[in-house]
A and B are shown apart, each in its own frame.
Chain A
Amino acid sequence: MATAEVEKQRGRYAALSIAAVVIAVGIPLWWKTTETYRAWLPYSQIAELDSMQLQLSVEVEVVFSRGTLTPEQQKKLPLTQNREQHHQVDANTGLTYRYETKYRTATIMEEDALGQPTAEEADLTLHQLSASPCGSVVVYVIPDSSMLLGEGVRVYVGQRRTALLRRQLGPGENLKDLEPHIEQVVQTMSFSHGDITAALSDRIRVSRLNKEGLPDSMRAFKSSPGYEITFSLLNPDPKSHNLQWEIEGALHSYIQPLLDKLAPVANFSVDSQILYYAVLGVNPRYDNSVSAYTLSADSLAHVINPVEARLGSNAASSNPVLNFLLYVPDAHHSPLFIRDHNKNMVATNAFHSPRWGGIMVYNVNDHYGPEALFPVDIDIDMTRVMGVFLAQLRFLLGVQQTRPPPGFVLQSPGSAGLTDWELDRLMWSRSVENVATASTTITSLAQLLDQIGNIVINDNIAQQVYSAVTSLQAAVAELEAGNLAFALQYSREAVLASERAFFDPSLLHLLYFPDDQKFAIYIPLFLPMCVPILLSLLKMAGDLRQRRSEQHVKRD
């Protein structure tokens, strides 16, 4: 009996030790060998990014020229003053605008500059005196008696970052009375709440946006590190028209200055091509009243499709392409005019398609008479064409149309096609948009990786995520500090890194590996191995319980 008991005991120990080996060695081994490599990601920092509290700081310098302040007001003038506005856009998106206003009186040189006969010259001289940093605004307060501004003009906004404000503080007034005016100027020259919320459209629902900024932001291309611009001349009838466009010179003198100016925002590459036998998708209708062919606004939507097949996608990069088409209707369908929704002729004969490009119809039928010998040589007036394309390019790149309040005069941007403050506005909204895009990308990537455990996370992806997160944090910090140029640069880096991480093909490798197939492979091994172990463990537990109860009974 004793030997039997010993033998039983030995069997029990054997079963236990096998179970122990399986648990201690087998399971970790299996775990280790079937594990997918998942590098560690900064989840907590990403979660912090999800609730975005942005603070945008603008430096405003208010310079009082002689005669705008009484001496005691001048004494009371504070050096700096900070004003903050907070907007809670969304449950986890908040915006704080911080205006750091510095007050000072004008220097002698500036007084001289303000003494120039016209506002433009004053603007230029002031700019030469001191170039203000990117993102800042300088407001010169000039007396009512100043001759710089014309009748009824309160504010003059120059080509750079300066504005002239005609406002004299009366003896009983103090700075508080000046503030609304300063604010108005700053709102015009720097970002407005509408712009910023429009830039956040990636994060927040459309219904929460104010409708005003929406068309502008929908029309513009999404922020991207680079854009490809293609100018195409569509000649559907090379048998009748031999078109010649001086595109090289036109690009050099009209487009390139604007692109040079926009260089901090994105890289641009420009191409042009001529496409023959490219026709529009709709047949224009002949209108007897104007004896011309017309395209109604409703049909414009169908115009592009057949043309687009010919345009050719960009082989060399994956940046978005802005298309500008110059369409010269064939001899039998000339002249061709576009009508808007109110059935009026569109003066420029051009239209644009949001986030795609612009099309201009260029009629050449009056370049030759009825007895002309085909093909006719025709030179295209590039000034007219480029004026339209330049304006469309500004829309599509997101340079917002400014609607100045009454009494404001905006200086036209001159040869560059873009003023400094317009560029600043664009950079503000691009930075915010980039920050929003990158943070959404990173958070959704983190969410995705969290949800699907099969995805392999390689070290390079983790590295991209890290660099995206650090760049994002840097961008947010720079926005807070008011360094617009750096903020934009960091935000671009963040977008690039986050996109690279998000679209990395290595994430896909093991994505499709369903659980049922895994079980199908494991069961033939696991079932026969685990069942005896489990059964003997159960039996042992049963024995133990029985013995306990027996002992209990005995003790009783």
Chain B
Amino acid sequence: MAAYKHSAVLLLCCFALVSDRTLASKPDQNRAEPEPGPESHARKSDAISPREDDSNREPEPEPAGSVQEDPGSRWQATEALDPAEEAAGTRRRAPNDQFQEELVIRPLSSGDIYSSFQFRTRWDTDFFKPGRKVANYRLFPKSLGQVITKFSVRELHVSFTQGFWRTMQWGPPFLSAPPGAELWVWFQDTVTDVDGAWKELTNVLSGIFCASLNFIDSTNTVQPSASFKPLGVGNVTNQKFLRYAVLPREIVCTENLTPWKKLLPCGSKTGLAVLLKSEKLFHSSFHSQAVHIRPVCQNWECKSTSWELRQTLNVVFDLHTSGQSKREWSLFKMFSRTLTEACPLASSSKIYVDVTDNSQGALFELSPSTPSLSQAVVLGDRRTYSVYDLVNPDAFGAQRSLNILLRWRTADSADALRPLLHGERYVAGYGLQTGEIHTLIYNNHPYRAFPVLLLDTVPWYLRLYIHTLSVTSRARDNKPSYIHYQPSKDRLRPHLLEMLLQLPPNSVTEVTVQFERALLKWTEYTPDPNHGFYVGHSMGVSILYSILGSWSSVAMDTNVCVSVFPCKEESTYFVRVYTEPLLVNLPTPDFSMPYNVICLTCTVVAVGYGSLYNLLTRTFQVDEPSPSLAKRLANIIRRMRGVPLL
């Protein structure tokens, strides 16, 4: 990806150079003029001020509606506001948006530590109200609001992930995301040209997040038929308005984090976001940041919707590289910062530490300790959390700074939380002509079978032999109950394979399909083709049954559940499982080949042509055969002897 960016920059440079050289006659529209500096116009605009006497007035806030009567104002607004608005102006309106921030820390059994940030902005507004011309943004970021309005977006989910979530070591993540960049968007059903809007949207998002999303085109975009449902309210599930794309090669770094932080109302100045220092966050085993926008119900009646922007950031710090192998973690050690205050705009600001396995402090010691505990069902499991409420100033203690310390008492770890479902994927076969993709899905539940919807997108240059598709579990054929397959078109669209599989309990299901590697045109290779080509993950979607069975909760603080995870207090919950992306080698030519081919062909042509030319233009004549060597020698001797020549 760096190479892509680099080449894009190069291209820009080229253009800049060229335009500099050749367009000297056209001064730049915006910049080339010698502008007077911005300082030079501190003008006393006395004619402008509508009320010169204002400074002498009582410094009391004035209702907006009452000011029109002033006769001295030059820009007098004679148009009266309507009385309803006037009334609204006089009393303070309750803000129709709110902001919440949360951090969940989960010590992992491997000794690593998992921190999950979540920032949630809700705005009770309707972007698509007819006649709405002006948008007044307060907490919601303007750039995303404009994107929603311009492209008529109904739901937008974008994630950038560096590293792979090790499910077997770390257990299931709160919100899973595939390595690289993933983007899926539902458009409003008023959009007529979905592909055009998608193309433009990816370019705009690529600008907003400084990512290579502009490389999303028709060759890596699919419209899954069943794997995605809108996560927000609304019942339009016409797949025509859904687009899904993955860039497995995308490398996530600081340049993606900075614009992501800028979307927060408090920026990285106060609140939990001060912890997001890039040099620490990217020195980790796993980093995933995401933006989810969706319409949600304003209240339980759900008569009107509001827009929810969730920004999540998940990071796993490694015991050995970040923790110096000491089983001791603190906020300062993880983020090289401590917390001093909550974001004043946040209606709630909390830190949750997962203490489920730590009954009576047997496993680790948590300081400062907090008496407030909360319980929630997360991913089908009942978890207990210690809660630090940052809105309450007592949370910061006497030092006015909060540094949560987590010291392990034992060196040996508890049993890892075994995920019920996880997937693996690899390429088998040898040589550069054919191969086989193996996808393994594990169901670790001892007695329950799960249905899984498997989504696979494979780029066109791996030509799938769909007749070789086989699904086996426990060495027996497992016939998918639903298959949706869309074959690829060269250079136009990828393969799309969706299957509904029934996973038997405690089993491994293996999906294999053979493929042939296509030959690319030489301009289609990436800058480092010998590295291989990334093929996106496959994704399983499933509804799982909670281990707890149907668990009716007592009254408890369910905030963590409502806002952090898509979970309900029910016996089933919904997970997405991602496998690793694949790295496939394609037959790669030597890239000086075109020139060699040109030279070789030209030489062959030249040789053939040369001999032909010679043959055609040379004149042939019968030559007197010259006497043989023996005869000539004999003649010389004869001449010397004076004998007549032969």
Binding site for B on A (CB under 8 A): 3-4, 7-8, 10-12, 14-15, 18, 201-202, 206, 215, 218-219, 222, 230, 238-239, 244, 246-254, 257, 269-274, 276-277, 297-301, 303-304, 309-310, 312-317, 320, 338-341, 344, 346-348, 350-356, 366-367, 375, 377-384, 386-388, 390-392, 412, 414-415, 417, 437, 440-441, 443-444, 447-448, 451-452, 508, 511-512, 520-521, 524-525, 527-529, 532-533, 536
Contacts and interface: CB of A to CB of B under 8 A. Distances in A.
A354 B41 contact: yes
Interface string B278-289: 000000000000
Interface string B34-68: 11111111111111111110100001111111011
Nearest to A221: B30
B41 A352 contact: yes
B204 interface: yes
Contacts of A298: 39
A414 to B, nearest CB: 7
Given A276-B267, A388-B48, A525-B606, A251 B134 contact: yes
B138 interface: yes
Given A277-B266, A448-B22, A353 B30 contact: no
A201 B51 CA distance: 36
Interface stretch (B69-77, B187-195, B418-426, B446-454): B69-77
Contact of A273 (B52, B63, B142): B142
Nearest to A437: B29
Given A272-B135, A528-B609, A249 B30 contact: no
A300 B345 contact: no
Given A387-B49, A390-B75, A528-B610, A252 B81 contact: yes
B150 A320 contact: no
| 9 nearest A-B residue pairs (beta carbon) | A528-B606, A391-B48, A353-B38, A387-B50, A379-B61, A524-B602, A444-B26, A525-B602, A246-B64
Chain B binding surface SS class: loop
A310 B75 contact: no
A346 B44 contact: yes
B465 interface: no
A288 to B, nearest CB: 20
Interface string B591-617: 000010011011101110110011011
Contacts of A219: 36, 41
A384 B49 contact: yes
12 contacts: A4-B619, A4-B621, A272-B136, A273-B138, A300-B38, A310-B267, A347-B52, A351-B41, A412-B74, A448-B23, A451-B22, A524-B598
Nearest to A274: B138
A6 to B, nearest CB: 9
B266 A276 contact: yes
B204 to A, nearest CB: 5
Nearest to B26: A444
A348 B147 contact: no
Contacts of B30: 222, 320, 355
B641 interface: no
Contacts of B606: 524-525, 527-529
A539 B640 CA distance: 44
A498 to B, nearest CB: 10
Contacts of A375: 344
Nearest to A277: B269
A447 B609 contact: no
Contact of A366 (B18, B59, B136, B142): B59
Contacts of A340: 42-44
Most buried by A among B14, B36, B614: B36
Contacts of A508: 11, 14-15
B135 to A, nearest CB: 5
A197 B453 CA distance: 69
A387 B51 contact: yes
A7 B619 contact: yes
Given A11-B617, A340-B44, 16 more contacts: A14-B617, A249-B85, A271-B135, A272-B137, A273-B138, A303-B38, A312-B143, A315-B150, A316-B204, A347-B49, A348-B45, A354-B38, A383-B62, A391-B47, A414-B78, A520-B595
Contacts of B614: 532
A277 B264 CA distance: 11
Nearest to B81: A249
A367 B45 contact: no
Interface string B111-143: 000000000000000000000011111110111
A312 B605 contact: no
Contacts of A448: 22-23
